Each structure stands twice: as C-alpha cells, then as structure tokens.
Amino acid sequence: MTDLLPITLLSLQVSILATLISLLIGLPLGTMLALGKFPGRSFLLSLINTGMALPPVVVGLFVAMSLWRSGPLGDLRLIYTPAAIIIAQTIIAAPVVTGLTAAALQQLNPRLRLQLYGLGASRVQMVLSLWREARLPLLAALMAGFGSVISEVGASMMVGGNIKGQTRVLTTAIVLETGKGEFERAIALSIFLLTITFLVNWALTVIQQRGRP
C-alpha cells in the first residue's frame, strides 16, 4: 500500500486541475449561452446539454486517437501522460459546468439584469453580480464537474494507460486490483476515493452554504 499516497495525490491533482480548467471554460461559455442572443444559441445549448451525458469511454477513444503517435496531435507526445488524462477529463467536465452554469443563470429573474444596469452596473459588474446571486447553483455546477471526473475510469485508462508511478489514478488502480482478485486493495482504494470525494465536496458545500439562513 506504499503507492496509495502518490496514486491519491495524482488523482486529486489531475481531477482538480481538469475541474478548474472546465470552470475557466464553462463559466464564461455558460454565461454567454444564458445571457446572450445570437444565432445558433439554442443549437449550441443542445450540444452542451448532450455533452453533459458524454460517455467517458467515447471521450477516451477520441482523445486517444488524437494523441496517438500517428494521430493529429501525436507530435505533442502526450499519450499515456497525466496531461492526457487532464485533457480527457476537461472534455468530460466542461459541458457539465457549462450546462449547469447556463441553467443557474437562466433561473434568475430576467428583469434583474435590467435592474442592475439601471443601478449603473457595467457589463462586467452585471455579470459578476449575477454570478454572486447564483453562487449556490454555480458551486453545485463545480461539484458536479468534479464528481464527473474524479469518478470516471474509462477515459483515464484509455489515455493514461494506468502506468504505475506515472498515470495510475485511484479509479484505474481499483479496476486493476479487482481484475487481479486483490479485493482488499481494491476496497481500500475505493474507501480512499470515496473519502477524498466526500472531503472535496464537503469543503465546497461549506463554502456554498456559508451565510445561509
């Protein structure tokens, strides 16, 4: 069990980074989809909503094909590296964060925007105020994004390769140990995975619920 700590740390590192990148993509994109008026908006929203249900193995397949030595991005030599897992997980989490961000902002009273503008808000101040107002569902979006990647195994296995000491994360290690019949190790890893998932979500929930009546 000496390798448990590096596996756990890598899992956390990869999934937190993928979630943060998804947030950087999803928050502005979701905001644009919720507040903007442009041709193709509904179509884009449908695509994002479909993307929320993207099977990780399908993402894994396309990322693996792209990063494969002979693939279009093969020269980057990223296949079977933690970076490849981050890319795949970002593709999985970004639609989740984007879709839930759009839904969170669309739930706000549309006249609130008029009121904020009427109070002298610039466009940036208006958006920041709406984000603050929707902070509870936005944090839920962040939690859902993190949950979708910390628990996925297919893409991590396909693009990371489950290489010991390099790309082995908790989920791929659980698959490996179960395959070997090492159920005790698999259970220990599962408990670890559940614990860190709980701790991260607990921290986010505390932030989310702070100041609530």
User: Any contact of residue 111 with another protein (CB under 8 A)?
Assistant: yes
Helix 135-150 to helix 4-35 angle (10° resolution) is: 140
* Residue 32 tokens, joined: 């644009």
Q: State the minimum distance, in angstroms, from the CB of residue 128 to another protein.
A: 10
Q: How far is CA 61 from the centre of its chain?
A: 18
Q: State the minimum distance, in angstroms, from the CB of residue 41 to another protein.
A: 18
Instruction: Yes or no: say if 135 and 154 are a contact pair by the CB < 8 Å rule.
Output: no
Question: Which listed residue (109, 165, 179, 210) binds another protein by CB under 8 A?
Answer: 109
Instruction: Yes or no: say if 93 and 22 are a contact pair by the CB < 8 Å rule.
Output: yes
User: Any contact of residue 213 with another protein (CB under 8 A)?
Assistant: yes
Q: Give dist(CA 180, CA 198) in Å, integer.
A: 27
Question: Which listed residue (117, 183, 198, 202) binds another protein by CB under 8 A?
Answer: 117
Of 30-38, 108-116, 179-187, 191-199, the segment contacting another protein by CB under 8 A is: 108-116
Q: State the minimum distance, in angstroms, from the CB of residue 107 to another protein.
A: 12
Q: What is the full DSSP assignment across 80-140?
A: TSHHHHHHHHHHHHHHHHHHHHHHHHHTS-THHHHHHHHTT--HHHHHHHHHHHTHHHHHH
Pattern 167-206, binding to another protein, x per CB under 8 A?
----------------------------------------
Query: Which H or E run contains 159?
Result: helix 154-160
Pattern 123-152, binding to another protein, x per CB under 8 A?
--x---x--xx-------------------
Of 17-25, 112-120, 150-158, 180-188, the segment contacting another protein by CB under 8 A is: 112-120
Q: Which residues bind another protein (CB under 8 A)?
A: 109, 111-112, 114-115, 117-122, 125, 129, 132-133, 213
